[in-house]
Amino acid sequence: MDRAAGDIKPQAEITVFQKPNWEKPRGKALANTLASQAAIASVRFVSKAKASRSWNPPACRTSPPLAGQSPPHALVVTPKDTTPPALEALGSRLRQAPEAERVLMDTDWIKRLAALMGLGRDLVFMLSIMLGLALAAITANTIRLQIYAQRDEIEVARLIGATDRFIRRPFLYFGGIQGLAGGLTGGALVGVGAHLLEASVERVASAYGAQFVLGGLSGVDLMLLLGLSATLGWLGAYFAVGQALRQVEST
């Protein structure tokens, strides 16, 4: 969703109205100065004449100019970083410019979008933690049941001198393999889901005049998924084996 929003969302713009006594050459000079700054992608100069032709009183959000008074020169600044903190910082710097009479920023939609994206990331993170704990718990329960099923073999192995590390090792291998199998299953489900939804996502993106391709997991992401799932399975087996062996020993 974050990648899709980055392609579909409109570009944020900051409008800088110049002081009435500033002439057109000085406005263009300011535009060239601002365009050279690293935080600004582009600057568009709007003259008084052009602003007068395009001014529409019913759609204007600010108070209209007085009768017979033409709007001042303006600069439409397009920033590179459209996050709310970066826009606020850039707006503050533009307000401090001696040529600026007023600076208009319409950042409400950006703040809402950033809040929604932050909420989505938090929900995905919480869901990942819950699913990871569920994988470890399921692996631990499976290992515990297997240990109880092989209880007699474990007792015989201890009688002939087998250590807990020797008894624990095959169960840890099994837990890691089970976690790895869960990671492979999850990666396969993501790939199949991306393939099934690819056409629908492309139609939605084209309806908004954007191009967005829904892709599956990359090679690096798949390796991280498999490594994490195998580690979670191993940890679940480790704690389950330790607890089960203590229970077997006590009885």
Query: Across all residues in the chain, what is the average pLDDT?
Result: 77
CATH fold of 12-106 reads Alpha-Beta Plaits (3.30.70)
Q: What's the DSSP call for residue 37?
A: S
Look at residue 223 in the predicted model and tell me its pLDDT. 92
Strands (E), the chain: 14-18, 40-46, 74-79, 100-105
Q: How confident is the model at residue 226 (pLDDT cuts 50, 70, 90)?
A: very high
Report the alpha-carbon distance of residue 222 to residue 216 in Å, rounded.
9
Q: Report which of 204, 226, 225, 224 is spatially closest to residue 214, judged by C-alpha positions.
A: 204
pLDDT in tens, 119-135: 888 998 999 889 888 88
pLDDT in tens, 41-82: 788 887 766 656 655 544 444 444 444 556 677 888 888 777
Look at residue 250 in the predicted model and tell me its pLDDT. 66
Question: Could you give the residue ranges of the DSSP H alpha helices within 36-103?
Answer: 48-54, 84-95
